[in-house]
Amino acid sequence: MAVTEQPGKPGLGERIYALLFQNYIWRSVFRSGYPNTPRNQMLVVATNVFLHLHPTRIHRTHVKITHTYCLGGLSFFMFLGLTVTGVLLMFYYIPSTETAYINMKALETDVQFGLLMRNMHRWMAHAMVILVFLHMMRVFYTGAYKPPREFNWVVGVVLLVLTILLSFTGYLLPWDQLSIWAITVGSNIAGSAPVLGGDVKFTLFGGFSIGQTSLIRFYTLHVIALPLLAAVFMTVHFWRIRRDGGMARPL
């Protein structure tokens, strides 16, 4: 006997659609409806783990590109890009003085898109240093460091130092002549500081001169310690912007 749909009752397809997208499963993931009303638009922002970092409503100054040039946002974008390309590089790089340089050269010739991956990591690192510096200039020139944002300025200074340290530690990893001598010069500068200088240099090198102990220290700092610290401070930085009443506005 043929099974026929009763008139007025939803068909199987409609019922599956309703089950998936209008009812339990869909609603368990997305708490708000389609963002076509101001209320739903605010709910979408407030109930999404990524979007809720932003306020549901902002002042029109904050969407004006010339107010921030999105320099902080671009610095963060570079950080994300560096994390992705850095993890990809970790699949090929061994932090040993015997193999590090050969690994980097092989990456450029033997691995598909290896050169692109390496260059993206390098150029994004340069870009991040420049962007963070420009972001700091923007914050200064718009007077956004003044109360109540003075604490966030200090968090920013820590982020600037971490960015420079990430760049410095990464520079040694290819283990070519340029890296070895650049780090030797940098560490000697640190070493000439009064009182703690000698200890700092010894700690950085893991001995009296640059070698395998230095490479593994710089590697661990570069891929674990410093990125983790930077991520924690960035979280505080973004959270503070909200707590300080959003971004500063011209008087």
What is the DSSP secondary structure assignment for residue 128, as one 8-state letter? Answer: H
Measured from the CB atom, the residue of 53 and 178 that comes closer to ligand HEM is: 53
Give dist(CA 147, CA 153) in Å, integer.
10
Measured from the CB atom, the residue of 101 and 238 that comes closer to ligand HEM is: 238
Is residue 166 a contact point for ligand HEM (CB under 6 A)? no
Nearest residue to 187 (alpha-carbon basis) of 174, 176, 198, 175: 198
Is residue 88 a contact point for ligand HEM (CB under 6 A)? no
Among residues 85, 103, 163, 179, which is the contact residue for ligand HEM, using CB under 6 A?
163
Is residue 156 a contact point for ligand HEM (CB under 6 A)? yes
Give dist(CA 118, CA 106) in Å, integer.
11
Is residue 247 a contact point for ligand HEM (CB under 6 A)? yes
What is the DSSP secondary structure assignment for residue 142, as one 8-state letter? Answer: T
SS (H, E, C) 43-112: HHHHCCCCHHHCCCCCCHHHHCHHHHCCHHHHHHHHHHHHHHHHHHHHCCCCCCCCCHHHHHHHHHHHCC
> Which residues, 6+ apart, have CB-to-CB distance to 173 below 8 Å?
93, 95, 100, 179, 215, 218, 219, 222
> Which residues, 6+ apart, have CB-to-CB distance to 249 below 8 Å?
59, 61, 62
Segment 97 to 136, residues that bind ligand HEM, using CB under 6 A = 132, 135-136
Cβ neighbours of 156 (radius 10 Å): 21
Among residues 41, 46, 145, 227, which is the contact residue for ligand HEM, using CB under 6 A?
145
Is residue 143 a contact point for ligand HEM (CB under 6 A)? no
- Among the candidate windows 8-16, 25-33, 153-161, 218-226, which touches ligand HEM by CB under 6 A? 153-161
Is residue 248 a contact point for ligand HEM (CB under 6 A)? yes
Measured from the CB atom, the residue of 115 and 157 that comes closer to ligand HEM is: 157
Residue count, binding to ligand HEM (CB under 6 A): 28
Among residues 44, 45, 72, 107, which is the contact residue for ligand HEM, using CB under 6 A?
72
- Among the candidate windows 71-79, 118-126, 184-192, 217-225, which touches ligand HEM by CB under 6 A? 71-79
Give dist(CA 70, CA 236) in Å, integer.
18
Among residues 70, 182, 200, 216, which is the contact residue for ligand HEM, using CB under 6 A?
70
Among residues 96, 129, 153, 165, which is the contact residue for ligand HEM, using CB under 6 A?
153
* DSSP code per residue over 172-184: HTT-SHHHHHHHH
What the block records as the tokens of 225 is 């310690």
Q: Which residues bind ligand HEM (CB under 6 A)?
A: 68, 70-73, 75-76, 79, 132, 135-136, 139, 142, 144-145, 149, 152-153, 156-157, 159-160, 163, 234, 237, 241, 247-248
